[in-house]
Chains A and B, each alone.
Chain A
Amino acid sequence: MLKFIFNKLLMLIPTLLGITLAAFLFVRLLPGDPVTVLTGERGVSVERKAELMAQLGLDQPLIVQYGYYLKNILSGDFGQSIATHKPVIDEFFSRLPATLELAFAAMLIAVLLGVPAGIIAAIKRGHWPDHVVMGVALTGYSMPIFWWGLLLIILFSTTLGWTPVSGRIDLIKYYFEAETNFMLIDAWRSGQAGAFGSVVHHLILPAVVLSTIPMAVIARQTRSAMLEVLGEDYIRTAYAKGLSPTRVIMVHALRNALITVVTVIGLQVGSLMAGAVLTETIFAWPGIGKWMIEAIARRDYPAVQGGLLFIAVAVMLVNLLVDVLYGWINPRVRDGK
């Protein structure tokens, strides 16, 4: 097992190098420069601009810049955001909890609704529950979520007034020190009555929007995985042995189907990040998706670079984790290769 993980990690190294180079070049190729964006209509003199560019190290040849970049990364220095003069790593990690909280909530909703829906569809294959589930799932899968989010805001926030419009907590009523930046945890630990509820209340609508596509994918995958498993010999044997259908499905079929589902969940991380960009934009959610969009718009080179790098590495690590988990659940994968 350890060897399996080690091999996987080793294979990551060239990809990782490629990613640093990609993130680096990516950002250098952007037209326009941060100094111009920062000064806006006001403009800046040619000498002053040269001075500022030199200060930011942008006057060196590309290869030298990349060398410095790698060296700094290895010593844990990911540069400073040009807009705020703060270390990129701080900017990123202070916003990451907001995105994680949203993503976890969305995944929770997706799994809690998607898996049972998929199971029901599989059991009732060809009957109306199957059609309904698959119809809804395909619609969800086809949903432009930025539009979906706007519609839900119109309905639940503006018209019905059930959910807050944006934000993470009622700022008029509650205040506590942010220790973890996970609002749920901070609110819980603050011990203020109602604070936790307020956070959940603010989290629901964005999480529902973000869960739409993963939920559809999970429902579809659960269904096909279940169908496959239900056709296997050992399930037929189980039935033949006289086990109750519920027990067969819950114990035998579900456990095997979950392997597929775990993989799917892992594969959703990338698209979850993409969804987070849109969801955070619509709900003004203070996470890394929104931060990245703003950084791109501001030409904040180090921020974009660092952000891309962290996100790519995170996606890779999650995929690794899924591989390992998969290997653990299903030993054939591990030993076969």
Chain B
Amino acid sequence: MSTPLEQSHWHITWNYFKTSRGGMIGLAFLVILLLAVIFADFIAPFDPALQNRQALLLPPAWTEAGHLPYLLGTDAVGRDILSRLIYGARYSIFIGCVVVSLSVIIGTLLGVIAGYYQGWVDTVIMRIMDIILAFPSLLLALGMVAVLGPSLINAMYAIALTMLPHFVRLTRANVMGEKNRDYVIASRVAGAGNLRLMFKTILPNCMAPLIVQATLSFSNAILDAAALGFLGMGAQPPTPEWGAMLAEAREFITRAWWVVTFPGLAILLTVLSINLVGDALRDALDPRMRRS
């Protein structure tokens, strides 16, 4: 991995990735989801907030009592579940992007600093990360949201915080491994400054594990946000976020299975797809796996 990244490197990775059937299935699902997210306004049959008081708790269209255009049925106030799921995908993707960006950027920054300078800076940063890690992530996020007030944005901050230590640790370990390599020393001799060394010379060579970690964090972010929504501490109704939809649907568990089943299924499939892609990506990026 000591060779700098090149165009061909990604090409090779993609070739390996293609051999993973699971990875391709996951990717296909994600592409479809992404299209749904972008074109939600065109493909969703209804406005997700539109209440039809004549169609309360309508079962899915293929059951006897159900009928089109309510393909997956309606919820307690007569909103189309399919439309809410499609718009809900927006929230999940958005949550994943924001959380991962936040924790990758801040985590990498702190990790590079800790790994590059070491000494007391390192000690302070790593102790703080230890403290964050000592609290179970969901409890920490719950507590954070309680402090900041329950909302989707605050839930995202909280989840980003719980993921921070993983990126810091990973980056730090990699930076420490790369720091004393020949190419870094050569750069330093050639007169490169600290900033340049940290971010231009060393960091690009630590990207592979970070990418894998970022993918896995993406799916964790979606799961945690849904859990917070379910506990009433994440997105607030009537936002069609999947976890919040589940929380709202819970009281109908014995009467209307579809309002409980579909949001959960949407979460499961999305998270599963991302994890499939993550697994395939890890195999593709890991030279040891390639050889075998």
Contact = CB atoms under 8 A, between A and B. Distances in A.
Nearest to B272: A142
A273 B139 contact: yes
A274 B250 CA distance: 20
B147 A19 contact: no
B253 interface: yes
Interface string B247-289: 0001001100100110110011001101110010000000000
B246 interface: yes
B134 A271 contact: no
A138 B246 contact: no
Interface string B179-204: 00000000000000000000000000
Interface of B: 22, 127-128, 130-131, 133-139, 142-143, 146-147, 149, 219, 223, 226-227, 230-231, 243, 246, 250, 253-254, 257, 260-261, 263-264, 267-268, 271-272, 274-276, 279, 292
Contact of A15 (B130, B246, B260): B130
A293 B231 contact: yes
Contact of A144 (B22, B143, B254, B268): B268
A146 B276 CA distance: 21
Given A144-B223, A146-B230, A151-B261, A277 B139 contact: yes
B147 A26 contact: yes
B135 A278 contact: no
A335 B139 CA distance: 36
A311 B136 contact: yes
Contacts of B128: 18
A15 B134 contact: yes
B136 A18 contact: no
A138 B254 contact: no
Given A277-B136, A277-B138, A316-B134, 20 more contacts: A30-B147, A139-B268, A142-B268, A144-B268, A146-B226, A146-B230, A147-B246, A148-B264, A150-B260, A151-B260, A151-B261, A154-B260, A270-B135, A270-B137, A274-B139, A278-B227, A296-B143, A308-B135, A308-B143, A311-B136
A150 B134 contact: no
The binding surface of chain A is classed by DSSP as helix
Could you say which interface size class chain A belongs to? 35 or more
Q: Which 3 pairs of residues, A with B, have the shortest CB-CB distance?
A: A147-B264, A274-B138, A273-B136
Nearest to A21: B131
A292 interface: yes
A315 B137 CA distance: 12
A31 interface: yes
Contacts of B127: 14-15, 18
A148 B223 CA distance: 13
Nearest to B271: A142
A18 B127 CA distance: 8
Contact of B131 (A22, A158, A304): A22
10 contacts: A142-B274, A144-B227, A144-B264, A147-B264, A148-B264, A151-B261, A158-B253, A274-B136, A277-B136, A308-B143
A277 B142 contact: yes
A15 B126 CA distance: 10
A29 interface: yes
B97 to A, nearest CB: 18
A153 B253 CA distance: 9
A312 interface: yes
B264 A150 contact: yes
A185 interface: no
Interface string A132-148: 00010011011110111
A19 to B, nearest CB: 6
